[in-house]
């Protein structure tokens, strides 16, 4: 068998997605499987899509309730700057306690997005 993209080159395997025979040069290993270049692009794009909303709403809520005074919820959601500010306010002034409560309400009512503006994911994890 010859490579589907290089008629003059011997194929070393086939793409697990489209089944085309591919040579070493065309083989793109992804997650332990071999894909042709076209399919690897597709699979990669799909993976990127799945990354949307990777932060769990439940985890954020639990962090907020139990560790919110340490700003762990803010750090978890990617708000590093705000997290540090919240932490400092809590330690130095005790004002963070109000913020702690506000964040719990924001997360509980699903009004808070992560730092990238993606909605929090509801589900098992
Ligand atoms: Zn393919
Ligand atoms: Zn090839």
Mean pLDDT of the chain: 88
Q: Which ligand is nearest to the CA of 4?
A: 2
**Which ligand ends up closest to the CA of 38?**
1
Selected residue with higher pLDDT from 91 and 124:
91
Residue 63 CA to residue 56 CA, distance in Å, equals 11
Ligand 1 centroid–CA 10 distance in Å is: 16
* Ligand in nearest proximity to the CA of 30: 1
Backbone angles phi, psi at 32, to 5 degrees: 80, 0
Distance 118 CA to ligand 2 centre (A): 39
pLDDT at 79 over 60: yes
Q: Mind giving me the DSSP string for 97-124?
A: HHHHHHHHHHHHTT----TTSPPPBPS-
pLDDT in tens, 24-60: 999 999 888 999 999 999 888 777 666 667 788 999 9
User: DSSP H helical segments within the chain, as ranges?
Assistant: 37-50, 57-67, 72-76, 80-92, 96-108
pTM of the model: 0.55
């Amino acid at each position: 068998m010859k490579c589907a993209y290089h008629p003059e080159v011997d194929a070393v395997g086939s793409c697990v997605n489209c089944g085309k025979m591919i040579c070493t040069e065309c083989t793109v290993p992804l997650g332990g499987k071999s894909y042709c270049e076209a399919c690897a692009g597709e699979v990669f794009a799909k993976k990127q899509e799945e990354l949307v909303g990777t932060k769990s709403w439940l985890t954020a809520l639990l962090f907020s309730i139990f560790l919110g005074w340490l700003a762990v919820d803010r750090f978890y959601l990617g708000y590093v700057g705000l997290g540090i500010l919240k932490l400092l306010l809590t330690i130095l002034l005790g004002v963070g306690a109000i913020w702690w409560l506000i964040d719990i309400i924001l997360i509980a009512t699903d009004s808070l997005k992560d730092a990238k503006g993606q909605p929090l994911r509801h589900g098992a994890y």
